Amino acid sequence: MSEFIFQKPNAVRRFGTGLIILACIVLIALAVMIANTVIARYDRIAELNDTIARAERMSASTSQTDTEFSLYQNETPQLSQAEMQSDMQDLAEANQVRLEVIRADQIEPLPGNVRLILTLNGVVPEENLGAYLISIADHDPMIVVDSVDLRRARTTNRAMGERPLAIQLQLSGFSTR
């Protein structure tokens, strides 16, 4: 037999029991954390499903009103894009927006239509920004604002009360083929 003798034989049993209890506590805490994570994800999924259902109901109610959007109609997409440029210049003047650049970007063919893309760079007084964006949204034929980039415009006159905003818009219009 072995000559090894424990000085305190109950200490080994207590240590083993304590280790098992500690492992159980860690496993229970881990199970609770995993359960909370799963519950939070299911709550988020339920919230997203509710949002999707509301959007579908709103979409169904707006489609029932038979809202028809008009498109640019010219002989070529380039003429439609030129008309769109002219419309954007008119909207800018009506809202006191100083357009510095109107760039006709690309023309993308879509099934049944053509997408006309413009980039506008200009300066707008801050108080006119909302009215300008609303006038673009309400424009007929339909114009879609793809992106808006705003920053304070550089100015040499620091005595001015409010500095204007530099705005860059990427817009899409649509034309029949």
pLDDT at 7: 76
Spell out the long-range contacts of 130-136 with Cβ–Cβ below 8 A and sequence spacing 24 or more. 131/95, 132/91, 132/92, 132/95, 132/97, 135/91, 135/94, 135/95, 136/88, 136/91, 136/169, 136/171
Strands 98-110 and 113-124: what pairing?
A: antiparallel
All residues at 6 or more sequence positions from 103 whose CB lies less than 8 Å from its CB, including other chains: 118, 119, 120, 121
Q: What is the per-residue pLDDT for 156?
A: 62
Q: Note the pLDDT of residue 8.
A: 77
Could you tell me which of 148, 149, 142 has the C-alpha nearest to residue 172?
Answer: 142
Nearest to 129 by CA among 96, 173, 99, 84: 96
Q: How confident is the model at residue 37 (pLDDT cuts 50, 70, 90)?
A: very high
Average of per-residue pLDDT values in the chain:
85
**What confidence score (pLDDT) does residue 72 get?**
86
Confidence of residue 18 (pLDDT cuts 50, 70, 90): very high
Q: Residue 172 has what DSSP assignment?
A: E
> What is the reported pLDDT for 24?
96
Is the separation of the CB atoms in 80 and 108 below 8 Å?
Answer: no
Which pLDDT score is estimated for 65?
A: 46
Query: Among 129, 104, 127, 107, which residue's Cα sits nearest to residue 116?
Result: 107
**In this structure, CATH architecture of domain 77-176:** 2-Layer Sandwich (3.30)
Nearest to 173 by CA among 103, 107, 102: 107
Highest mean pLDDT among 28-32, 72-76, 125-129: 28-32
In tens, the pLDDT along 70-120 reads 888 888 888 899 999 999 999 999 999 999 999 988 888 888 889 999 999
Of 2-11, 19-28, 127-136, 167-176, the least confident: 2-11
Q: How confident is the model at residue 63 (pLDDT cuts 50, 70, 90)?
A: low
Whole-number Å distance between alpha carbons of 77 and 113: 10
pLDDT the model gives residue 66: 46
The bridge status of strand 98-110 relative to strand 165-176 is unpaired
Is residue 62's pLDDT more than 70?
no
Spatial contact of 147 and 123, defined as CB atoms under 8 Å apart: no
